[in-house]
Structure 1
Amino acid sequence: MTALQTSSPLDDLCALQHDDGRWEAEMVWSAGLLAHYVIARRVAGPWPMDADDVRGTLRQFEVTRLPDGAWPVHLEGEGSTSGTVLAYVALRVLGVPPDDELVARARRWLHARPNAVLHMPSMARVWLAVLGLYEYEGIAPITPELLLAPTWFPLHPHRFSCHVRQAYAGMSQLYGAKVRFDLGELTEPLRAELYDRPYRSIDFRAARFRLDAPEVCAPPSAAVSFAYRLLSLYERRPIPALRRAALRRSVALTEADRMASGGQGLTVLHGLLGHLGHASSAPPTAELHRRILAFDVWRWHDDQEGLRFTGARSSSWDTAFALRACAAAPSTPAARAAVAKAHRWLLRQQVTEELPSSENTGRDPVLGGWCFSDAAHRWPVADCTAEALSALLVVRERADLRAVTEPVPVRALVAGVKFILSRQNRDGGFATYERARMPRVFERLNMTETYVDCMSDHSYVECTGSCIAALARFRRACPSVHARVIDAAIRRGVAYLKSQQRPDGSYRGEWGITFTYGTFFALEGLVTAGVSRSDPAIARAVSWLLATQRRDGGWSEHHSSMLSGVHTELPEAHAAMTAWAVLALLAGGLPDDHPAVQRGRDRLLALRADHDGRGWPKQAANGAFYGSGVLDYRLYKDVFPTWALGAHSAEARA
């Protein structure tokens, strides 16, 4: 037997650690982000992408194109109008000729769908309008004056979730100023190629409120449509002084985000929207070039898949779970060394400086939190903070691991706890980046067209599970610190989780797929927070997991569960999802030798053996956001199965 075949899951996981101590693998979303970047590079000035990046870009569009010639909005989606249009424009901007097979098939796909480009979602319309390939009169109003409303106004953008708020600031700046960049000799050919009729004969105004694209999951409600028609009247003659003030405000919001995040923005998409606005009013200077180079933090590049941009970097998130996996099993010298490096890295990613108090950006305080990525991002998240704290505290509980790690200052733990508490909503659940600022009913005013339940940062099952688990672990480690406040927060979090259990016993997750994910975090949170394993909520959740175990011993779930609300299996067992289920069953009180636990672990080992005995194969996507967004966290297939194989039931630990 070779060394490759005898490596352990823990050794394999340690081998994936980066030199600086973090764990991180790509979080895959969409080639559309690359298209946005290519377009932004083109209009920013005379700094073309280098030859390696051009080759990498072409490679990425080649490997993500569907057999019918279109591009999806996520890696497992069907062909989308917006994804195909933006990829087409990006390829032509890079010099791909119109008769090249890569774009010719995409053009045929578009032309086979009458009015496809005219009726695509507003975000894509804005990107085309910026390039002179769509008329602003055909875009539903994105009126920047809304940013000037008093902050008590229920629909002030400060009340939106941070992703919607920052997108609104960037898009309203472009829309309000009617920003237009010149593509030169490429403009007329692209106008002729994208549309099935002469560009100047198109009635863009008639298309303003029409949506007809596969990616539209949240068409405007009657209330939103009525508001659009009122704003359309205003947009005929906007008040110049108000428009100028509103544009200054939108610029201030995008610039504040750029400065706070070290130039990278909340996401690369938000950053690029702000970059376009800045580039429209600034000459192409070296400073403008440096601004767009700051977005390289979002890039991944290899020969197999080419150049791509990710929707988020997941280094703190991945590292916290990898530490939990390492702490779940008997360690080796190599594992202890890996834990020491990761522990040191994670401890240094806590946000230790507050945002400038003078900036009226609508953001909640950030001090003490952990980001999804690293401290430089300065967009900390409640459950990222909770999982970082849990990882640090779990490592601290093991004497052999505590001996190789530096002590965690109590003040750092307390700061993290205060950050978590600041994200608890009135309903007892926990949000992500910020507390909820509008009632859930306001989701009826969703204006994004392509995402659901995204207008407000409401409470989430998995965030709540992570947060009450971290608070409970801190409570055991530091029993005299903020005990009354923490106990009250845990009680409210437990009550929220119990209220969210579905009749079949499952819990719906919204940042992973879907019910398996949510049930794992809910059970881990409830039990760690002190809920008895004999509690009916725990018993119902365990029963649901047992009922959804596949005949082969594994678990699996298709991303369509997000929108349908119905648990739907994949054709085969999924390693990460099987691991979530095994961990949840152990948390729920099943012993190590329970047949369901054993069969789940056997399936994990079989999947590993089928992959040459090292690591686990790449499978279906495992992450999600806002209902229709599908992600693949590439480290999940290694970290959660390793954790599940090393974990033991409470009885075995005792």
Structure 2
Amino acid sequence: MESARRGIAFYSLLQTSDGHFAGDYGGPHFLLPGLVVAWYVMGRPAVMISPAQQALMLHYLRVHQQADGGWGTHIESPSTMFGTVVCYLAARLLGAKKDDEWIKEGRDFIQKEGGAVMTSSWAKFWLCLVGCMDWKGHNSVPPEMWLLPNWFPFHPGRLWCHCRMVYLPMGYLYGTRFTYFDAETDLLIQELREELYCESYETIEWDKTRHLVAPMDNYSPIPVLMKVAQNFLSLYENWGIFSPFRNAVRKAGLKYCLEYMRAEDLQTNFIDIGPVNKALNMVSAFHVRSHMMRVPDYLWVAEDGMKMQGYNGSQCWDTSFAIQAVWECGLLDKFPIMSAKVWAYLERTQILSTETSQSSPAYAYESCENRDKFYRHVSKGGWPFSTSAHGWPISDCTGEGLKGVLALMDSHVITDSVKKGVLKNIDPTRLYDAVNVILTLQNEDGGWATYENNRGFGWYEELNPSEVFGDIMIDYSYVECSMASLTALAEFHEKFPHHRTKEVTFAIRRGGEFVKSIQREDGSWYGSWACCFCYGCWFGVEGLIKTGEPTSSSAIQKCCEFLLSHQRPNGGWGEDFTSCYDKDYAENGMKSYGDDGSGVVNTAWALMALSAANCNNVDAIRRGVQYLMKRQLESGDWPQEGISGVFNRACGITYTAYRNVFPIWALGRCAATYGDVLDTPETKV
């Protein structure tokens, strides 16, 4: 257990004063450019991005440029037009000079691929906002869609919330044809109009460019049905015959969009659900100062410069996992200060559950009337991915937060501190609220999605307009969300067996049936939120075992066989984001990072699944443990390797916390499961 203890001792140094663990949640390249465009069109206020921050952002863009001159959609992606156009645009807006060598290389890449008319729709949207593309070159995003009756099969309120909350301000800005007010006289914008295209800006027939997209961007080609709809909407936007009707409904649609964005701003304390709609809402909003105060929530400085994170952080998510890892190592009482600070953080972060949060404007939106009006699921009692101020609860974050509290609540460190008034008590009624959130989020198929129940249909993907992302249109049930939710219910039921007993046990059983139903033929589970099959297998195995599935069952044994078949010669496991992209195990593992294709995070996930299943191949477990111990640094840290997170199938995202939390957890679990059987001079964990 010494190796695990050293790992915890190091990781505790990264704990902040409020109790969460600091970590990088960057990776996507299209986030920072959106913020930069918003800053530029709003007049370049220094309070939003200071000169020092501009320099750090330029450094980030420069160090992530690839050898071919382009940028990827994320930091490990090969160059794409999406990544290159928006990063080039951001660099120039931040002050990079036209004749700088790295800027020339980026421009050459864009020109070689046909110019910015060949980039994907999200990049085109930013170009339109800043005045570097005519709105006729962008497909319609009609705000009047929100006026459709709620029963309409493709009402936008049925979309996955991240998709919905991005296209909400897009609809408003498209409907008003918002363009940077100084675009026609700004010399930099005039230069960009020359640099980004292969022909004269004035001669481009914009309407003919709407469907153009470079093959490298076309991960999710726009289906025929959506192209037909877009062509009809183009007629709707441009034919005079539609003008009287369009003008009447557009005014009402724009009014509703503003009202909805206002609600989103207040519910999230001007953080908003994510970085894309944060930037778009900021351009659309009247409360600009309140928005600007929340820009730093998204910014992170690391050795590669300043980036915009994929959320306002992963604080609650990382912290919930970390304390469960320490608990499973049996070391809570050995790290009393850390444990107490985690308790304080989880207590403070439960959504709309503290006096402070219940006195905020967000609390008014928890009423049934407002939740129905703005398509929000119940929030009170859930836990977020990041902070309480963010305000959006998620099924798996609620599950992991609840498990973190349950792990801590019987610790002497916590009980003594609560009695002395040093820590606040978490009343059981607050845990009941969390259980209510989880129960209400279970889908009809028995699984759990992310933020909401599945409100739409699979055929919505036939209307996916993004080109660069897959499976974004509805909130699907996932093995990760399902395991986190059902295991939280199971652990809650062990401590509170008389609370909603029938509902809880029924939900657990249905959840287990769902998890088993989506197991792949080869025994694996596809992980949608990290790389990929090792991650999915850990969730799948753990979920089934919590429902009472015997470790000898065929489902569990098939998963063990799958994982063992992918163990690499050095004892580790490794995958990169291409597993998610291709939906097929990346046989080359992480070879591009050295160490024979293995990585500490994937190895930890595989070991956690195998040890949960009580795998009888002790030699494989021993070799995996030896690999983790060999890779541990003298400080107790582990090296940062490849990107471990993913979203929407095609975009990698960084979770630096994973390299610490999961090796600690795996070592603790293996030691508890196998004990002295693993002991060799190399495996005294």
TM exceeds 0.5? Answer: yes
Q: Does 1:268 align with 2:270?
A: no
Q: Does 1:570 align with 2:590?
A: yes
Q: State the identity as a percent.
A: 31
Map 1:16-35 to 2 at 5 A: 16-35=14-33
What do the CA deviations read for 1:309-354 (whole angstroms, capped 9, x no partner)?
A: 1011100000001101111224276512211111121122111255
Contact 2:18 2:344 (C-alpha < 8 Å) held by counterparts: no
Instruction: Give the 3-state SS of the residue equivalent to 1:485 in structure 2.
Output: helix
Partner residue of 1:338?
Answer: 338
Instruction: Give the 3-state SS of the residue equivalent to 1:8 in structure 2.
Output: helix
Contact 1:142 1:171 (C-alpha < 8 Å) held by counterparts: yes
Q: What letter matches 2:214 in structure 1?
A: D
Q: What letter matches 2:252 in structure 1?
A: A
Distance between the aligned counterparts of 2:619 and 2:65, measured in 1? 43
Distance between the aligned counterparts of 1:165 and 1:37, measured in 2? 19
Partner residue of 1:625?
Answer: 647
Distance between the aligned counterparts of 1:399 and 1:530, measured in 2? 30
Q: Does 1:367 align with 2:380?
A: yes
Map 1:285-324 to 2 at 5 A: 288-302=288-302, 304-312=303-311, 313-324=313-324
Partner residue of 2:507?
Answer: 489
Distance between the aligned counterparts of 1:561 and 1:7, measured in 2? 32
The structure 1 residue matched to 2:6, chosen from 5, 8, 21, is 8
The structure 1 residue matched to 2:220, chosen from 218, 221, 245, is 218
- How far residue 528 of structure 1 moved from its aligned partner, in angstroms, is 2.1
Partner residue of 2:190?
Answer: 188
Partner residue of 2:614?
Answer: 589
What do the CA deviations read for 1:95-116 (whole angstroms, capped 9, x no partner)?
A: 32210123111111111112x3
Partner residue of 1:394?
Answer: 407
- How far residue 288 of structure 1 moved from its aligned partner, in angstroms, is 2.3
Distance between the aligned counterparts of 2:121 and 2:659, measured in 1? 35
Instruction: Give the 3-state SS of the residue equivalent to 2:294 in structure 1.
Output: helix
Contact 1:220 1:446 (C-alpha < 8 Å) held by counterparts: yes
What do the CA deviations read for 1:454-473 (whole angstroms, capped 9, x no partner)?
A: 10011001110111100000
- How far residue 8 of structure 1 moved from its aligned partner, in angstroms, is 1.1
Partner residue of 2:627?
Answer: 603
Contact 1:5 1:612 (C-alpha < 8 Å) held by counterparts: no
Distance between the aligned counterparts of 1:597 and 1:15, measured in 2? 29
Instruction: Give the 3-state SS of the residue equivalent to 2:116 in structure 1.
Output: coil
Q: What letter matches 1:268 in structure 2?
A: P
Contact 1:586 1:650 (C-alpha < 8 Å) held by counterparts: no
Partner residue of 1:251?
Answer: 258
Contact 2:458 2:474 (C-alpha < 8 Å) held by counterparts: yes
- Scaled by the length of structure 1, what TM-score is found? 0.94
- How far residue 242 of structure 1 moved from its aligned partner, in angstroms, is 0.7
Map 1:427-438 to 2 at 5 A: 427-438=445-456
Distance between the aligned counterparts of 2:481 and 2:598, measured in 1? 26
- Scaled by the length of structure 2, what TM-score is found? 0.90
Contact 2:85 2:119 (C-alpha < 8 Å) held by counterparts: no
Contact 2:472 2:648 (C-alpha < 8 Å) held by counterparts: yes
Map 1:230-245 to 2 at 5 A: 230-236=232-238, 237-238=242-243, 239-245=246-252
Worse overlay, 644-653 or 556-565: 644-653
What do the CA deviations read for 1:72-101 (whole angstroms, capped 9, x no partner)?
A: 111100112122222222222223221012
Q: Does 1:37 align with 2:26?
A: no
- How far residue 444 of structure 1 moved from its aligned partner, in angstroms, is 2.2
RMSD: 2.1
The structure 2 residue matched to 1:475, chosen from 493, 502, 505, is 493
Contact 1:28 1:634 (C-alpha < 8 Å) held by counterparts: no
Distance between the aligned counterparts of 1:650 and 1:590, measured in 2? 13
Partner residue of 2:682?
Answer: none
Q: What letter matches 1:386 in structure 2?
A: G
Partner residue of 1:161?
Answer: 160
The structure 1 residue matched to 2:532, chosen from 498, 514, 519, is 514
Contact 2:333 2:412 (C-alpha < 8 Å) held by counterparts: no
- How far residue 418 of structure 1 moved from its aligned partner, in angstroms, is 0.5
Distance between the aligned counterparts of 1:241 and 1:137, measured in 2? 21
- How far residue 397 of structure 1 moved from its aligned partner, in angstroms, is 5.2
Map 1:26-65 to 2 at 5 A: 26-45=24-43, 47-48=45-46, 49-65=49-65
What do the CA deviations read for 1:209-252 (whole angstroms, capped 9, x no partner)?
A: 22225232111111111111211111114421111111112222
Distance between the aligned counterparts of 1:509 and 1:6, measured in 2? 26
Instruction: Give the 3-state SS of the residue equivalent to 2:342 in structure 1.
Output: helix
Distance between the aligned counterparts of 2:583 and 2:525, measured in 1? 11
- How far residue 119 of structure 1 moved from its aligned partner, in angstroms, is 2.2
- How far residue 32 of structure 1 moved from its aligned partner, in angstroms, is 2.5
Distance 1:277 1:408, change over 3 A: closer
What do the CA deviations read for 1:289-320 (whole angstroms, capped 9, x no partner)?
A: 44223221111124x22211101110000000
Instruction: Give the 3-state SS of the residue equivalent to 2:122 in structure 1.
Output: helix
Contact 1:6 1:613 (C-alpha < 8 Å) held by counterparts: no
Distance between the aligned counterparts of 2:525 and 2:167, measured in 1? 32
Worse overlay, 230-239 or 412-421: 230-239
Distance between the aligned counterparts of 2:197 and 2:601, measured in 1? 43
- How far residue 5 of structure 1 moved from its aligned partner, in angstroms, is 11
Q: Structure 2: where are the runs of 5+ without partners?
A: 353-357, 592-596, 677-685
Q: What letter matches 1:377 in structure 2?
A: H
What do the CA deviations read for 1:190-212 (whole angstroms, capped 9, x no partner)?
A: 11111111101111111112222
- How far residue 421 of structure 1 moved from its aligned partner, in angstroms, is 0.8
Distance between the aligned counterparts of 1:487 and 1:178, measured in 2? 52
Partner residue of 1:174?
Answer: 173
Q: Structure 1: where are the runs of 5+ without partners?
A: none
- How far residue 13 of structure 1 moved from its aligned partner, in angstroms, is 1.8
